[in-house]
């Protein structure tokens, strides 16, 4: 019985030291992680803005739309919107940042937060992956949400990551509908 008590106390001490160490590391790195994540979002915003001025941050009441910004031209007219929308992929929740023209057509998109499979779903982070969606949505052709709606080259590029593609496509289509409903306001 004494041996069990000794082992139990030793394990409890090890757990306490490990928990304290993890808490200390978290406290030290928390602000740096937040700053890094903000930097990633700012870089993505500048990429998807396509040279237009980014307006103020707006929060959405829609749980699938995290936030959105107006895109302004030189005379402060609304040219479109940048929308941060949630999608669902193979690895779970994904965050997609996309710019849309006022009519809801996709101008640019970038995959941000995700837990997709390296070598398969993670390909969606690569430059050029989102090109298959540019110009779709709104009053133009619908956002392709199925592999069969793509050309052969694009369909081959998503092979093995169909769930990721579908999640991104549905998120972009949802964002397109959101922007269309805004009507340039």
Q: How far apart are CA 109 and CA 167, in angstroms?
A: 13
Round to the nearest angstrom and report the end-to-end CA distance of the chain: 73
User: In which residue ranges of the chain is pLDDT below 50?
Assistant: none
Q: How far apart are CA 97 and CA 131, in angstroms?
A: 14
Q: What is the pLDDT of residue 23?
A: 93
Q: How far apart are CA 119 and CA 140, in angstroms?
A: 32
Q: Is 183:155 a contact under the CB 8 Å cutoff?
A: no
Q: What is the pLDDT of residue 1?
A: 75
- Placement of tokens 């928990």 in the chain: 19
Q: What is the pLDDT of residue 185?
A: 65
Q: What is the pLDDT of residue 116?
A: 67
Q: What is the pLDDT of residue 108?
A: 93
């Amino acid at each position: 019985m004494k041996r069990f008590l000794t082992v139990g106390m030793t394990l409890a001490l090890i757990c306490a030291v490990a928990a304290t160490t993890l808490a200390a590391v978290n406290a030290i790195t928390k602000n740096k992680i937040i700053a890094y994540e903000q930097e990633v979002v700012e870089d993505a915003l500048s990429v998807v803005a396509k040279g237009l001025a980014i307006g103020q941050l707006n929060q959405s009441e829609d749980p699938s739309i995290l936030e959105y910004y107006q895109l302004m031209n030189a005379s402060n007219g609304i040219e479109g919107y940048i929308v941060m929308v949630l999608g669902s992929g193979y690895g779970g929740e994904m965050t997609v940042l996309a710019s849309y023209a006022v009519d809801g057509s996709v101008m640019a998109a970038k995959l941000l937060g995700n837990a997709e499979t390296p070598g398969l779903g993670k390909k969606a982070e690569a430059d050029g992956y989102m090109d298959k969606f540019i110009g779709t949505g709104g009053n133009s052709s619908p956002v392709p949400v199925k592999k069969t709606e793509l050309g052969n080259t694009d369909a081959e590029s998503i092979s093995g990551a169909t769930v990721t593609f579908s999640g991104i496509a549905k998120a972009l289509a949802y964002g397109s509908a959101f922007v269309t409903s805004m009507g340039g306001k």
